[in-house]
């Protein structure tokens, strides 16, 4: 009788999907953001909400309904409440906001009120 333990075949390293951003500024820290990861497109409303704990806060509201919150604490440091960030320590939402800040597309602003943002979305 033979007893053997089989090791799983080694996995090939996945090539990360290329990401492209399209940002359409609307007004005062509000815009539409499209993140293309490989062949998958995701569209969001992006708006700055401020932060009571320092840094800058942003909401990314997916056109399909999901909402993500990104807190930027430094030039290359951000946290997001999505599953990807919780599992891997980074995500496309935080990376997109950091990239937009670095490129000067999201200069520091006084955040728009929630009522003002809701009116803008309804328009």
Q: For position 109, what pLDDT does the model report?
A: 64
- Give the pLDDT confidence of 78-108 residue by residue, as tens digits: 999 999 999 998 899 999 999 999 998 888 7
Q: What is the DSSP string of 11-28?
A: PPPPPPPPEEEEEEEEET
Residue 80 domain-assigned? yes
Residue 34 domain-assigned? yes
Residue 7 domain-assigned? no
> CA-CA distance, 39 to 32, in Å (whole number)?
19
Residue 82 domain-assigned? yes
Residue 27 domain-assigned? yes
Strand partners, 40: 37
- Sequence length of the chain is 123
The total number of structural domains that make up the chain: 1
Residue 10 domain-assigned? no
Residue 45 domain-assigned? yes
- Give the pLDDT confidence of 8-31 residue by residue, as tens digits: 656 677 666 678 899 998 887 789
Task: Answer yes or no: are the C-beta atoms of 75 and 102 closer than 8 Å.
Answer: yes
3-class DSSP state of 60: strand
Residue-number span of the structural domain to which 31 is assigned: 19-118
Residue 79 domain-assigned? yes
Residue identified by tokens 């803008």 is 120
Q: For position 4, what pLDDT does the model report?
A: 46
CA 100 to chain centroid, in Å, comes to: 10
Taking alpha carbons only, the member of 60, 55, 70 closest to residue 31 is: 60
Task: Answer yes or no: are the C-beta atoms of 44 and 60 closer than 8 Å.
Answer: yes
């Amino acid at each position: 009788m033979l007893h053997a333990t089989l090791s799983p075949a080694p996995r090939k390293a996945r090539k990360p999907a290329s990401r492209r951003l399209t940002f359409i500024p609307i007004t005062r820290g509000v815009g539409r953001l499209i993140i293309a990861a490989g062949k998958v497109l995701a569209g969001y409303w992006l708006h700055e909400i401020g932060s009571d704990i320092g840094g800058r806060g942003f909401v990314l509201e997916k056109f399909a309904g999901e909402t993500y919150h990104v807190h930027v604490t430094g030039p290359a440091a951000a946290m997001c409440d999505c599953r990807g960030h919780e599992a891997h320590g980074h995500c496309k939402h935080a990376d997109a906001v950091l990239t937009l800040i670095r490129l000067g597309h999201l200069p520091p602003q006084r955040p728009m009120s929630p009522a003002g943002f809701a009116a803008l979305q309804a328009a």
